[in-house]
Structure 1
Amino acid sequence: MSRAVVLTVLLAGLIIIGSSGSVFGAQMDARINPNTETSPFKMNYQKTVFIEYQNGGQLFDVLRGQEWTVQGTADSSDPGVQKLMSTLNNKIQSDGSQAHISDLNVSYDIHLKARNINTSVDYRVILEGTLSNYVITKDSQKTLIDLGWRGMSTTNEVVIDGHELNFPINILLEMEPEAAAFFVGTEAEDVLHRNLIDADFILQQPLTNWHFLFDPTGINVDAGTFGLSEEIAGYVVSSWTMGESSIREGRQVERVFEAEVMADQLYVVRSVQSSDQANLYAIGFGALDVFDGVEIAGVTATPPEDYATTSTGDFPVMIIYGMAGIAAIAGGAFFMFSNRALKNTKEGQQGIDPNRLVGHQTSSSSGGYQTNRGEAQLADDSDYQQTRSYYDDSSNTTQSPPPQPEATPAAAQEAACGCAASAEMGSECDCAMQGACLCDASCPCNADICKEQVNSMS
């Protein structure tokens, strides 16, 4: 039983882990073309801060009815964007990658809305740009591309259009200084001083743990009918996807940081940044490898001959056999438990032995029609007291049996009633059913037609 309970808990955990989902914190989307010098990418960073005042107070009075939005866009001509691009390139280089960002656009959207019991501040910063120098080597058969640039993060301030975007506390100090003063010098300030532009987890998750698929549409004979762009014509497209919460990738949960502030009332500040997600595409068939501690992919125009893989690479080898083993153990535990329960029950025939039953016909003929109905009765009455019906016991009934009429000799009935059928047919004298009667005064039949016949004969 204990083993069965453990297996049940384990399987339930697998279901919960596999089905969890969330809104993404850092979301990456990049398409690398090894045949060109540059490729586009997009990084989306999101975070929400909740300021809670369940019992009202001065902070509630300060924020009551407040709602505002700070948003804008800037390109690489903006000094703030240039500084951010330089900072990101330094981070990519420190991660061991030779790639760098050659162009960058930044858009931001920060929205505050006050409610009766809390205030929420939604932060969103989107980076769209161009990667270059990601090709390591290239020959007639294979191209090696650098994939170690994924951790686009910075712990520096990012000031664009006069707004600091990387640390949530700064926009509050700018837009709501009276409310932000409640948090300065407290643990809440540490919660609000965690950087928003953070994609380190996307880099830390090895690409071998990502789901891998390749699309061979570009090499189909009729690929032109699909309206494919020229860059993928004649090639397959490899894709790696990260973000599923599972045993192989690990359980991905929201990053929640919380702190309490005791002023005139107890206030709670909570920062929520959900699990990361990433989609990485490469033109051609990509085979992963590691070079000098940096993840790379060897890209060919077509997949190797007779190549086949699942959407999870080596996932089936590690997991599917393990799941099959768990299922086998669970099945063994189930049969063991069932066998133990069966031994505790009485075996063999329960009730009356069929060899002691005999069949009896219960139907009779009428007008020459005979049915096959019958019933089973005991061949002897040795165990009748154990098998008889409750209603067969005269002590359990209150009604007395109906009076039995005096028996009339069969010969007298047969002689008296001329309407009786022949004895071979096995039917009785029934003047009402016959519709005619030839009876004398000694006929005991009570049918009206018989009485009329008797009167007419007398």
Structure 2
Amino acid sequence: MTKAVLMTVLLAGLIVISTSGPAWAAQLDTTINPNNAESPFKMSYLKTVFIEYPNGGDLFNALGGTQWKTAGTADATNPGVQELMMALNDGIQKDGSQARVSDLNVIYEFQLTGRSLQTSIDYRVILEGSITDYIITEDSQKKLVDLGWRGLTTTSSIVIDGVEINIPLDILKTEEPILYNTFVDTEAENVLNRELINADFILEQPLTNWHFLFDPTGINADANTFGLDDSIQGFVVSSWTMGESSIREGRQVERVFEAEVMADELYIVRSVQSTDTANLSSIGFGALDILDGVEIIGVTPTPPEDYMTTSTGGFPVMIIYGMAGLAAAAGIGFFFISSRSMKNQKVGQQGIDPSNLVGYQTSASSGGYQTNRGEAQLKSDTDYEQTRSVYEQSTEVTPQETTPQETVPEQTMPSGGDEAACGCAASAEIGTECDCEMHGSCLCDATCRCNADICKEQVNEMS
């Protein structure tokens, strides 16, 4: 019963997951080239808002089966994009970083899908642009790169071509007035007024908690055969990745904000954002450091000669080699012990030597024929009781084994050549009746001297 309930819960969970669309939060992808004055970046912001009307109501009548989508793009020449660039740079400066956004393109898309029990609104804004002024200082051996700009966030209202792209509630004012009027001045307003363009968690997660890897392909002698970009030839590439939920990075769960609104019916508003993710790379080998409270990396063309760490940045490779050596030694020891055990095992014939055995026939004639059954016994009588034939029977019939009904008159066996003419094959030795008497017919000729009545009658008739 418990297994059935568990399987039902798992199946229901799979159905819910398979029918629910992903709702991600901020996602950063960038590659910093310390040899250039600016580098590209891409930041995606995604959020999903669910409006539930379990008891129906005006919102069910207005939204059930409704679908619409608002989308658009804009570049740095758009006044709304310029306002967004200024807001992002103000946030970067407040975070203590000297870097700034120098170019920006905006892609936005909002989609509403009405269903029988709920309506979902998907918000997506993508920023693609360039970051500059990230080089703090440099010399002939190393460059210090500012990474404190990665938390691109603004709480300001951003309007591009008449569309509000940062505050989820404001877009409903023009697209769905009934929703806006239902939720304004309620607890749902606090949920829907949370800005979409927010990457604070990417900045708050220390880079020391990110996974680190470096690719030395660019410094290989035959690197040009791999078709590498000219910008990374002669360099290694360092990469930091954030987004895993683990003991080291901490448990990361989706952020859910929920509110109930009582209008003509009870409505539930829920905003869902998953954890933020980021992939940050740099040309060259980057060593993490902190300068005036801002996380930076010291970049060199190649890693130090004594550098041997794994992706976590602090687990020596020699330990891995040592563990592998111990495993190999344990394997060798196992095979050595197994080999010695096999050598100590006895081989060849175990138990009784066949040369000490002799064959012994155990079958008896019956009906004019004889079987060839037999068994093996020891030549010596020693321990005979342990090997005694199971076919051997006592020649004496005990009173318990013989009943009055089983008692028969003593029979006389034919002798010499007459035995072959008698088909009865009487077995007087073990106290059984004549076979002819048992079968009610006699196969004997006139020479038969059986004592069975049927045989005597047969002999008389033949005489």
Give the TM-score, by structure 1 length.
0.68
State the distance in 1 between where 2:43 and 2:86 align.
16
**Deviation of the 1:25 alpha carbon:** 0.6
State the distance in 2 between where 1:259 and 1:225 align.
58
State the distance in 2 between where 1:362 and 1:306 align.
84
Amino acid at match of 1:118: Q
State the distance in 1 between where 2:408 and 2:234 align.
106
Deviations, residues 405-427 of structure 1 (Å, cap 9, x unaligned): 77879x977886479xxxxxxxx
Deviations, residues 246-293 of structure 1 (Å, cap 9, x unaligned): 111111111111111111111111111111111011111211111111
State the distance in 2 between where 1:220 and 1:266 align.
65
**Deviation of the 1:81 alpha carbon:** 0.9
Partner secondary structure for residue 169 of structure 1:
helix
CA 405–92 in structure 1, closer or farther in 2 if over 3 Å, else same: farther
CA 157–105 in structure 1, closer or farther in 2 if over 3 Å, else same: same
Structure 2: any 5+ residue segments left out of the alignment? 1-20, 321-358, 364-369, 378-384, 387-402, 422-443, 453-457
CA 368–59 in structure 1, closer or farther in 2 if over 3 Å, else same: closer
State how 1:314-329 maps to structure 2 within 5 Å. 314=314
**Deviation of the 1:88 alpha carbon:** 0.7
CA 368–108 in structure 1, closer or farther in 2 if over 3 Å, else same: same
State the distance in 2 between where 1:168 and 1:363 align.
102
Deviations, residues 124-148 of structure 1 (Å, cap 9, x unaligned): 0000110111112222222221111
CA 417–183 in structure 1, closer or farther in 2 if over 3 Å, else same: same
The corresponding residue for 1:190 is 190
Deviations, residues 318-337 of structure 1 (Å, cap 9, x unaligned): xx9xxxxxxxxxxxxxxxxx
**Deviation of the 1:303 alpha carbon:** 1.9
Deviations, residues 328-361 of structure 1 (Å, cap 9, x unaligned): xxxxxxxxxxxxxxxxxxxxxxxxxxxxxxxxx9
Rg larger in structure? 2
Amino acid at match of 1:255: R
State the distance in 2 between where 1:277 and 1:37 align.
26
**Of residues 405, 421, 441 in structure 1, which corresponds to 2:448?**
441
**Deviation of the 1:311 alpha carbon:** 2.3
Moved more, 50-59 or 299-308: 299-308
State how 1:365-376 maps to structure 2 within 5 Å. 370=374
The corresponding residue for 1:385 is none
State the distance in 1 between where 2:155 and 2:107 align.
18
The corresponding residue for 1:358 is none
The CA RMSD over aligned residues, in Å, is 4.0
The corresponding residue for 2:202 is 202
**Deviation of the 1:300 alpha carbon:** 1.7
Please tell me whether residue 264 in structure 1 is matched to residue 271 in structure 2: no
CA 252–52 in structure 1, closer or farther in 2 if over 3 Å, else same: same
Please tell me whether residue 91 in structure 1 is matched to residue 91 in structure 2: yes
**Deviation of the 1:369 alpha carbon:** 6.6
Give the TM-score, by structure 2 length.
0.67
The corresponding residue for 1:236 is 236
Amino acid at match of 2:448: A
The corresponding residue for 1:58 is 58
Task: Report how many aligned residue pairs link the two structures.
Answer: 355
Moved more, 60-69 or 114-123: 60-69
**Deviation of the 1:223 alpha carbon:** 2.1
The structure showing larger relative contact order (alpha-carbon pairs under 8 Å, at least 6 residues apart) is 1
Please tell me whether residue 142 in structure 1 is matched to residue 142 in structure 2: yes
CA 169–413 in structure 1, closer or farther in 2 if over 3 Å, else same: farther
**Deviation of the 1:59 alpha carbon:** 2.0
Amino acid at match of 1:441: C
The corresponding residue for 2:43 is 43
CA contact (8 A) 1:259 1:270 kept: yes
Structure 1: any 5+ residue segments left out of the alignment? 1-20, 321-360, 380-399, 420-436, 446-451
The corresponding residue for 2:14 is none
CA 417–24 in structure 1, closer or farther in 2 if over 3 Å, else same: same
Deviations, residues 204-255 of structure 1 (Å, cap 9, x unaligned): 0111111111112212233222211111112111111111111111111111
**Deviation of the 1:368 alpha carbon:** 6.2
Partner secondary structure for residue 182 of structure 1:
helix
The corresponding residue for 2:366 is none
CA 262–370 in structure 1, closer or farther in 2 if over 3 Å, else same: same
State the distance in 1 between where 2:27 and 2:275 align.
9
Amino acid at match of 2:271: S
The corresponding residue for 1:130 is 130
CA 408–103 in structure 1, closer or farther in 2 if over 3 Å, else same: farther
CA contact (8 A) 1:102 1:130 kept: yes
The corresponding residue for 1:156 is 156
The corresponding residue for 1:255 is 255
Moved more, 55-64 or 238-247: 55-64
State the distance in 2 between where 1:87 and 1:100 align.
11
State the distance in 2 between where 1:68 and 1:34 align.
44
